[in-house]
Copies of this chain bind each other. A is one copy, B any other.
Amino acid sequence: MKCRVCGQPASINLRSYKTALCDSDFLSFFEKRVKTTIEKYNLIAEGDRPIVAVSGGKDSLSLWHLLNKLGIACDGIYIDLGIERYSDTSLDKIKKSAEILKRKIYVFRIKSVFDCGIDGLAKAMRRMSCSACGMVKRYIMNRICLDKGYNVLVTGHNLDDEAAALFGNVLYWKKEYLWKKDIALEAKEGHLSKKVKPLFLCSERESAAYAIISNIDYVYDECPFSIKAKSITYKGMLNALEESSPGTKLMFVKGYLKTLKDVGGAGETVGEDVRETKYCTNCGYPSYTEKCIFCWTLEKYGIQNDVKFDEYGPYSIDSGQGVVQ
């Protein structure tokens, strides 16, 4: 197979685009797609101060590199879930990227507040790990933005993540979630930062290829707690459908975005109102109850520890050493 652009041997076959590309043309293709997505959906504008949520995986690290390469300077925030080896390895790789990019990385350590890792917290809360993790991430990522003056939170959710989540929402027609998912969610001044997903239309396979070709050192393993997640089942089914009908995932997600417009846009109430959004009386972040689940948990367990962020970088090119500011 030959590269559609230069005619040299192709290294990746993109069946959903009916094209094949060599390494170098794939990088350009991928960068252009993300750039177009950012512009078309107004994800990041001139003068914005974005921060990328990095996990150490292919998606968020590819995105962090790519944005800085496109001239969109952005720092990173990492949440250390206290998962042995996995969390430390992830942070090591993130620090390497921060060094290459000469950007700052903030680290929030879950143990610094809860005195245990995500598994311990989940057990105490009698929740699944993924549910407890989501609770912590939503709070901390909003907090870093509001505390440190970043106005756009950029996450690495890819097409596969979005298609799987949408699949679950549509399977049970979850009104509370179904029409609330979007490629960008607008800020609520003083309460919530704008959230954007520039990889919304890029597959997992594409972001992995981008990381590999770009020599980005990322964590290959999935989070050990995600194995039982239903999203893994949904991803498997969507991959089977994609295999027999290339482009299915993209059509599923793009079709949803179009339908979302038809029904009134993300966050609009379709039909009867289910839950009213209020703000947590403690932190002021959006909440369906008087106190948000994060503040409620701290109170319930009598936790007095403050949320604080460790900062690494920006790194100097010469020394290659981290400078804690």
Contacts and interface: CB of A to CB of B under 8 A. Distances in A.
Interface string A162-189: 0000000011111100100000000000
Contacts of A270: 259, 262-263
Interface stretch (A65-73, A114-122, A248-256, A295-303): A248-256
Contacts of A241: 171, 233
A262 B259 CA distance: 14
Is the contact region of chain A dominated by helix, strand, or loop, or is it mixed?
helix
A261 B258 CA distance: 19
Interface in A113-141: none
A233 B251 CA distance: 18
A290 to B, nearest CB: 28
A229 interface: no
Contact of A271 (B251, B261, B271): B261
B271 A262 contact: yes
Nearest to A171: B252
A178 B258 CA distance: 13
Interface residues of A, number: 25
B259 A171 contact: no
Nearest to A253: B173
A266 to B, nearest CB: 15
A6 interface: no
Given A233-B241, A244-B233, A262 B251 contact: no
Interface string A215-240: 00000000000000000010001001
Contact of A237 (B172, B175, B237): B237
Given A171-B252, A178-B259, A262-B270, 4 more contacts: A173-B256, A175-B259, A233-B244, A259-B270
Interface of A: 170-175, 178, 233, 237, 240-241, 244, 248, 251-252, 255-256, 258-259, 261-263, 270-272
20 contacts: A170-B170, A171-B241, A171-B248, A171-B251, A171-B252, A172-B248, A172-B251, A173-B251, A173-B252, A173-B256, A174-B255, A175-B262, A233-B241, A237-B237, A237-B240, A258-B271, A259-B270, A259-B271, A261-B271, A262-B271
What are the 7 tightest A-B residue pairs by CB atom distance, in nearest-first order? Answer: A262-B271, A173-B255, A262-B270, A173-B259, A237-B237, A172-B251, A171-B252
